[in-house]
Structures are given as structure tokens and as C-alpha cells.
Amino acid sequence: MTSPRVAVLISGRGSNMMSLVRAANAPEFPAQIALVLSNNPSAAGLDLARAAGIEARAVDHRGFGHERKAHEAAINAELRAHGIEIVCLAGYMRLLTPFMVNAWHGRMLNIHPSLLPAFPGLHTHARALAAGVKLHGCTVHSVTAEVDCGPILAQAAVPVLEGDTEDTLGARVLRQEHILYPAALAAAASGHKFPSPDEMSYLANPLPWKGRVP
Ligand code: GRF
């Protein structure tokens, strides 16, 4: 049995994407990174992916004006053309419409730099510092229609230390992201029976994630 084909969607530097690529290079990793896509042609992660031998393409959202769904349809066409079975969002800075969320229901993961449900949205490290929390961290969750609200698959916590800045705290969290995301993808990919991309019945009868982090 071949391992599920994964696409990683990025908008910027792509450090989480590269953590997935590196993990998936291990022969025992139960998923393969088959494609990297970006809405931003100048995303630094595209070159990193290519240098690592991964097919990487940009589908520039600016060519679609306000037609958010048309852009998603173009992304989706790439995913289908490459036989993708799991999508990992990794710093993908586009709000998804119900079209995309439903098309990948139960097969799309995201990593978020906070311990959800605390601090959904942007500027999570600054908000954690302002709130005075003593623990902060990151979450991998399944993507649903509401942003940063899908079922939590895995979390990692870090302490907030005296004198922390947004940058020092963000760097501490990012180190954990790079460990957590591959572990969560591995758990999801090995614990879940994925319908083939051509098998559309999952739309009518979505399967929940059964992944576990070892
Ligand atoms: C990460 O902090 C991730 O949690 C958030 O966006 C950032 C992306 O960073 N969703 P990178 O592009 O993976 O380096």
C-alpha cells in the first residue's frame, strides 16, 4: 500500500512545510509530500521545496480579483491533478470558502501558533504576552468552516518566560511547531482510511479524523 499523497499550502517562508518534507524523507513516515502550492509566487518556501526536490507551484490569487472561489477551484484542480489525498495548510494566508472546506472535509489540517481555543487569528504571540498567560504553544487541527475552530488533533505547550518578546516567544513556539506538525500528520495519515480522490462519497458521509499523536 502506498502512503497518502500530501500537498502543503503555503504563503511565505515555509519552515513548517520544510519540517514536513524532512520528516517525510524518512522511509517509515506514513505519508509523502507530493506537492507544494502557494497563492504567492514570491513565497520563499517555493524555492526551498524545489531545492528539496518537491514539485512546487504558485497559483497567484491576484489573477482572480475578488473571485475567491475561482482561485480555490484552480488550487483544487492542481490538487486533484496530482492525486492529493491530504492537504496541510502551513502558513497559508487565505480565508477558505465553504467550497474548499467541504471539498477537503476531514482531509485538511492546519497548524496554528497558539493553544487553541485561546488566541485564534493573527498576532498570537503578542496577544499571549499581553494577556499574561504562562503557557503558550501551537495546535494542529482539522479545518472546518470557522477559522481556527476545527477539531484539535495535537498540541504542544511552551512556557512564557520573563523578558520574552514576541520574537523570542514566537521562536520557542516555532521549534515545537516543527516537531508537532509532522507527528500530527503521521498520526492522521496512519490512523485514518482516506477515500481516493475520485471517490466522492465522503462529501455526503464525512469520516472523522481518528489520528493519534504517539
Ligand atoms: C506558523 O507560525 C504557523 O503556525 C502559522 O503561520 C506560520 C507559518 O510559518 N499558521 P512558516 O511559513 O511555516 O515558517
Would you say residue 117 has pLDDT above 70? yes
Least confident of 72-76, 136-140, 196-200: 196-200
The residue whose CA has the least distance to atom 10 of ligand 1 is 91
Give the mean pLDDT of 85-89: 98
Give the mean pLDDT of 24-31: 94
Report yes or no: 128 and 119 within 8 Å, Cβ to Cβ.
yes
pTM of structure: 0.89
Strand order in the sheet with 56-58: 56-58, 32-38, 5-10, 86-89, 108-112, 135-142, 152-159
Band of pLDDT at residue 158, cut at 50, 70 and 90: very high
Report yes or no: 11 and 46 within 8 Å, Cβ to Cβ.
no
- Rounded CA separation 90/106 (Å): 16
* Closest atom of ligand 1 to CA, residue 173: 2
Give the mean pLDDT of 25-45: 97
Residue 90 Cβ contacting ligand 1 at under 6 Å: yes
State whether residue 180 is helix, strand or coil: helix
Residue 2's pLDDT is what?
A: 86
Look up residue 75 and give its three cell numbers: 488550487
Would you say residue 103 has pLDDT above 60? yes
Catalytic residues: 112
Residue 1's pLDDT is what?
A: 65
Would you say residue 143 has pLDDT above 80? yes
Q: How far is the CA of 173 from the centre of ligand 1 (A)?
A: 10
Q: How far is the CA of 110 from the centre of ligand 1 (A)?
A: 10
Least confident of 135-139, 147-151, 190-194, 195-199: 195-199
Residue 14 Cβ contacting ligand 1 at under 6 Å: yes
Give the mean pLDDT of 43-56: 98
Residue 112 Cβ contacting ligand 1 at under 6 Å: yes
What DSSP element (H or E) covers 88? strand 86-89
| Cell 500530501 belongs to residue | 6
Would you say residue 205 has pLDDT above 50? no
Question: What percent of the chain stands above pLDDT 70?
Answer: 89
Residue 191's pLDDT is what?
A: 75
Would you say residue 209 has pLDDT above 70? no
Residue 113 Cβ contacting ligand 1 at under 6 Å: yes
Would you say residue 77 has pLDDT above 70? yes
Q: Which of 71, 103, 67 is nearest to 199 (CA)?
A: 103
Give the mean pLDDT of 179-183: 95
State whether residue 153 is helix, strand or coil: strand
